Amino acid sequence: MQKNFLQFDQSEWWILLIILASVGLTWFLYSIRNPAWNKNQNWILSAIRFLAIFFTLSLLLEPFINQTIVRTEKPIVAIAVDNSESVVARFTDSVAFKNQVQTLIEDLENEDIEVYSYNLGDFDSIRFDHPTTDLSLLQKKVGDAMEGRNWAATVLLSDGIFNNGSSPIYKKYPVPQFTIGLGDTIPPKDINISRVLYNRVSFKGNETPIRVEVTQNGFDGKEVTFNLTEKGEILSQQKVRLNSTVQELEFIVKSEEEGLRRIEVSTALQNDEFVPENNSSSIFMEVIDGRQKVLIVASAPHPDIKAIKSVLTSTDNYQVDTYLPSLDEKEPTDIYDVVIYHGAFAGRIRYQPKEQPGIWYILGNQSSLGQLNNTVPFINIRRRGSQTDNVTASFNQAFSKFSLPEDRGAFDDYPPISIPFGDYTLSGPTETLLFQRVGSIATQKPLFTFYDDGSQKGAILAGQNIWKWKLQESAINGNSDLFYNIVTKTVQYLSVKNDKQQFRFRSRGNNFSNLQSIFFESEVYNDIYERIYGNRISLTVTSADGESQDYEFIDSEFNSSFSVPSLAGGIYTYNASVRVGDKTFRDRGQFLVEEINREYLNLTADHNLLKNLSIRTGGEYTHYSEADQVINKIRTQGFKSIVRSSESYFPLIQSRWMLLIVLLLFSSEWLLRKYLGGY
């Protein structure tokens, strides 16, 4: 029902003035004597002129139409369909089941109610193919769509199984939930690889355990073979007698090559087994050569070497070699990440690294400070005579290259070490970790300093005998955690190479699922290492089977990320390239896509969840075999229509029809006057 009322923003006095003005202007024009037309024609022309002037002046008062719309809104029943794969996994005649669900929806639509349907994805048709079940998200979708409407009830068709999101039982619902239980509540005869526990990252050369959790129903006493395979080859095999509902077995695999691995745990399909999809599970493991190679070069054996080496070899993260030119005939040929010179710049140390590693200089009594000053331009030590100074360590609170444990009280207990006595000057890209403390006075002279000029990282410890620090800390605290952190974090910092690539292209993480898009980040720099944008970047993503897909995008200052659609499970390599000027830069990498198949991990319907949901909200539960009764249950609720009214205001000055009427009135008057012989 619709009602319209014409209203003005101004008072009635303005309307009266407009009428008087319209009459006055009309009289002034048509009160002439002896017109070219008769009296009746004069009255017609006067009326047309009056209306034209009246409508024109009235529009200045901003009249509007107040439109009141009254409508009756029927009660709305929302149908939420759990269209996941688990619903139809145990139906031998899934087509008949889908038709039954469709018939229920159509029968509800024939009632005196409005029906809207929703599912886990985009509701096109009833296709039970969604790979995960999030019932709480489905209910949220319904609630958002029904907000502000005459929402009467929800009919939820589900097996009660959810494998994503939170339980729908704990949400608050403003309307009753009528649930229809789908699926089968009797556990199927099945062997299920329900969970695989493993380390996603393994170090090259290490052995990694893989623990497999197996659940079974209906195969008690059965001997089953489980295989661990990679690229079609069996890595390991175990025969297991199934004597309980849940069992665990363990495989050990050795990682001998760097890269990404896809390993499958599987067992053959047994007779009468209902679901074959959960008899296998793929895991993805990244093998890295994470050990840093460290070389300690010294002119003679020293307790410091043993102290540093004991810290680094306490984990599998470091390979530590020593080279003493006075004792070792053969010079090391490996490429090292960090080289530690103990007693640096002493005459007998002549080792030159093969590449440019991080350097840690530990000075000794025989160190040539002249060689130090010439080699490292950022520090200058001018010795005063041949004297030494005994100093302790004072921590620099402003140090930022890495962090140390908050409890640094062990520094106060560290015994003094002997260093060259003289003037210490720092310049350039240096930062001091420890200052010299003489007695109780903390100075600004560096004791342990780091530098990084963009191409070389280094550290300079001005004295030796730091083994005493480790021994003292262990004696007082029962551990040497602070000393451990100083050594390991110094080596970690020095081993990180400065990245001067002009093109960097990386996947946003190494592990993705087959349900999500793959995101990449790009960075492009010019020759003076300024970030530049607007570059056309080409990307090729290749699966382990050799199938490739090409992509292209242009980065910008506001968006340098790029995504490709979700991919099937497996190992993928990517190659990206960009052209800057006359140069082409490339970058490459790998990532894993894990196949998620949660729907087949549990196929036993949970109708108790649906019953509890209905009880909590004032609805009713119905088994799907009696789904037609839901219509009668909804009828008995006596859901009522509601009457809603709304008002809208439409300014007439915006109406094309109103402007057209004014134009027609003036045009008609002019044409009549011309026709009657006027001017």
Which fold does the domain 75-186+604-635 belong to in CATH?
A: Rossmann fold (3.40.50)
- What mean pLDDT is predicted for residues 496-522? 82
Higher pLDDT, 471 or 276: 471
Give the predicted TM-score (pTM) of the model.
0.53
- What share of the chain in percent tops pLDDT 90? 26
pLDDT of residue 239: 92
How confident is the model at residue 66, as a pLDDT?
66
Domain 190-288 shares a fold with domain 503-594: yes
Mean pLDDT of 12-18: 71
Q: Name every residue whose Cβ is closer than 8 Å to that of residue 337 and which is 6 or more positions away in sequence.
A: 292, 293, 294, 357, 358, 494, 495
Check pLDDT > 60 for residue 3.
no
Residue 571 CA to residue 459 CA, distance in Å, equals 40
pLDDT at 550: 94
Q: Can you tell me the mean pLDDT for 124-153? A: 83
pLDDT given at position 484: 92
**Per mean pLDDT, which range of 3-12, 400-409, 576-585 is the poorest?**
3-12
Q: What is the pLDDT at residue 511?
A: 78
Q: How many CB atoms lie within 10 A of CB 36?
A: 12
State mean pLDDT over 15-30. Answer: 77
The predicted-structure confidence for 394-434, as pLDDT tens digits, reads as follows 999 888 888 887 767 778 889 999 999 889 999 989 999 99
Most confident of 288-292, 351-355, 442-446, 668-672: 442-446
- The closest alpha carbon to 181, from 209, 205, 161, belongs to 161
Q: How far apart are CA 214 and CA 193, in angstroms?
A: 5
Q: Please state the separation of Cα 160 from the chain's center in Å.
A: 28
Q: What is the mean pLDDT of the chain?
A: 84
DSSP state of 284: E
pLDDT greater than 70 at residue 270: yes
Residue 383 has pLDDT above 90, yes or no: no
What is the domain partition of the chain in residue ranges? 2-70+649-675, 75-186+604-635, 190-288, 293-389+438-488, 503-594
Confidence grade of residue 106 (pLDDT, cut at 50, 70, 90): confident
State the Rg of the chain over Cα. 42
Q: Which pLDDT does position 254 carry in this prediction?
A: 87
Whether the CB-CB separation of 433 and 448 falls below 8 Å is answered with: yes
Distance set, CA 544 to CA 198, 261, 262, 268, 673 (Å): 22, 11, 10, 24, 89
pLDDT of residue 644: 75
Looking at residue 499, what is its pLDDT?
64
Q: Are strands 2-7 and 64-73 parallel, antiparallel or unpaired?
A: antiparallel
Contact 424, 460 (CB under 8 A): no
3-state secondary structure of 105: helix
Lowest-pLDDT range, 37-46, 360-369, 576-585?
37-46
CA count, 13 A, side-chain hemisphere, 55: 18
Band (pLDDT 50/70/90 cuts) for residue 212 is very high
Pairing state between β 457-461 and 441-452: antiparallel
What whole-number distance in Å separates Cα of residue 176 and Cα of residue 152? Answer: 8
Judged against a pLDDT cut of 60, whether residue 21 lies above it is answered with yes
Pick the CATH number of 503-594 from 2.60.120.10, 3.40.1360.10, 2.60.40.10, 1.10.260.40: 2.60.40.10
pLDDT > 80? residue 122? no
- 666 versus 177: the higher-pLDDT residue is 177
pLDDT in tens, 525-535: 887 677 889 99
CATH superfamily of 190-288: Immunoglobulins (2.60.40.10)
The encoded tokens of residue 448 equal 């342990």
- The pLDDT confidence band at residue 632, using thresholds 50, 70 and 90, is confident
Band of residue 490 on the pLDDT scale cut at 50, 70, 90: very high
pLDDT score of 13 more than 80: no
Cβ burial, residue 637 (10 Å; 0-12/13-18/19+) = middle
Q: What is the pLDDT at residue 465? A: 93
Lowest mean pLDDT among 227-241, 459-473, 510-524, 531-545: 510-524
In which band, very low, low, confident or very high, does the pLDDT at 65 lie, cut at 50, 70 and 90?
low
Asked whether the predicted pLDDT for residue 537 surpasses 90, the reply is yes
Cα distance between residue 255 and residue 238, in whole Å: 20
pLDDT at 548 over 80: yes
- Confidence at residue 125, expressed as pLDDT on a 0 to 100 scale: 57
Per-residue pLDDT at 483: 93
Over residues 156-181, the mean pLDDT reads: 87
pLDDT band at 123 (very low <50, low <70, confident <90, very high): low
Q: Specify the pLDDT at position 177.
A: 92
Judge whether 460 and 361 are in contact, CB under 8 Å. Answer: yes
Residue-wise pLDDT tens digits, 438-485: 888 889 999 999 999 877 899 999 999 999 999 998 988 888 989 999
Tell me how far apart the alpha carbons of residues 390 and 240 are, in angstroms, rounded to a whole number. Answer: 68
* Average pLDDT estimate for 545-555: 91
DSSP 341: E
Structure tokens at 538: 């080409």
Contact criterion met (CB below 8 Å) for 305 and 298 = yes
CA end-to-end span of the chain: 49
**Least confident residue range of 372-376, 612-616, 641-645:** 641-645
As a whole number, mean pLDDT of residues 595-622 equals: 84
Backbone φ, ψ for residue 181 (5° rounding): -80, 120
Q: Any residues with CB less than 8 A from the CB of 485 and at least 6 apart, and which?
A: 404, 405
- Among the residue ranges 87-101, 213-227, 637-651, the one predicted with the least confidence is 87-101
Strands 417-426 and 430-438: unpaired
